[in-house]
Homo-oligomer: A and B are copies of this chain.
């Protein structure tokens, strides 16, 4: 079924896996558009030209699995996970019924169950979503449905004004969710954080009272384990106490931080997570499964997820099927077709075991500690401020490494260093500091 020339193209893909010298090969947009010849035409192209196009796409794309790509909350590559991704693409099925995805329905169940057990739940529910923002949206929607089941049928007009609570440094997906789900961004109440970026529980209590005094009805607290910029872990125990007292849904956005649960040494950062109602966890971040792999996990055992999202499409979820239709998990989703996201994680987990994943987490923390110590020993690293954008521009144009900068709160621009790739060594940390010094030495 595969022609030789097509095989060549498949192989062309695999040739990408050599060590690159540069993290990126910067081109201005106009120049890049011309180099790529993006236009789509009436006639097809010969195979040698397609092969060249593949090489060009690879050449000018950012090498996110380069050891010195520190720019996002994903980086590096795990070849077992990558194999799982290739296999997923080759098998091309949709994760909604046992009929078309028998292996993946059972596999998703096993992977979710294992993630839940790390959270501390012996049972519960969950589903893989296209990214952490969607997982967070699921949590907000299911929480709203638990509090006001009539919302599904009647919409928000049947409800009082609702209020959501999250820290000043939580991910912007909380705002996106509130806007998209008709709750409104001004009904997201921001709770103060301490110096380290962790939510202050006392302020949560006060903010809840404030919202009530304005006539809003609190229903959802969105805590964060691993904030996007500072990597802060909100104190879950006191937050859980407040949610218990007030009868609020407690969600933990552990998209970034969740993977500490693999580590005996570091899981204390999420102490109290088992008291949450739901958890977002993105193995595509610290665990390196590759984009996308995000789970929403629920403690609920009453099929809230299905009741909240089901639309009972008869063409897909026939009830006169010859097998147990509770295996048709698609109606838990707000999507119809859904990509298979469990295989890459499952295969990697089989390959390295929970122990191997634990080692990765521990190694990332070791690198971070080393980096902090090194930085303290050097002068000039507190004065980045206005020069960060210039250093960044030089970095990109020379392609030696990639890391991101941003301001936050009262702070001026600073670099955010993401250290998760298992390929990293202390030498890479030193390189990074030297490189910032080199790129900025005349500023």
Contacts and interface: CB of A to CB of B under 8 A. Distances in A.
A44 interface: yes
B71 A100 contact: yes
Nearest to A343: B57
A98 to B, nearest CB: 7
A366 interface: no
Interface stretch (A87-95, A192-200, A368-376): A87-95
Interface residues of A, number: 151
- Number of this chain's copies in the assembly equals 2
Interface in A114-164: 114, 130-134, 137, 141, 151-158, 161-162
A39 interface: yes
10 contacts: A10-B82, A33-B106, A40-B114, A45-B353, A54-B347, A151-B184, A155-B182, A155-B187, A171-B336, A315-B416
Given A324-B29, A338-B131, A353-B42, A57 B416 contact: no
A6 interface: yes
A87 B353 contact: no
B41 A354 contact: yes
B315 A36 contact: no
Nearest to A11: B14
A217 to B, nearest CB: 11
A224 to B, nearest CB: 14
Interface stretch (A60-68, A232-240, A297-305, A435-443): A60-68
A406 B321 CA distance: 10
A434 interface: no
A184 B102 CA distance: 33
B228 A315 contact: yes
The 3 A-B pairs of least Cβ separation, nearest first, read A182-B182, A155-B184, A156-B156
A10 B176 contact: no
A373 B176 CA distance: 51
Contacts of A155: 156, 161-162, 178, 182-184, 186-187
A350 B27 CA distance: 22
A53 B408 CA distance: 46
A10 B185 contact: no
A158 B72 CA distance: 37
A38 B108 CA distance: 10
Nearest to A109: B38
B29 A102 contact: yes
B17 A291 contact: no
Given A53-B347, A152-B179, A322-B393, A92 B74 contact: yes
Nearest to A63: B91
A364 interface: no
A21 interface: no
A251 interface: no
A396 interface: yes
Given A53-B350, A315-B404, 10 more contacts: A1-B423, A12-B83, A17-B90, A130-B130, A133-B335, A133-B336, A151-B184, A176-B311, A179-B311, A322-B392
A107 interface: yes
A6 B341 CA distance: 20
B346 A89 contact: no
B292 A79 contact: no
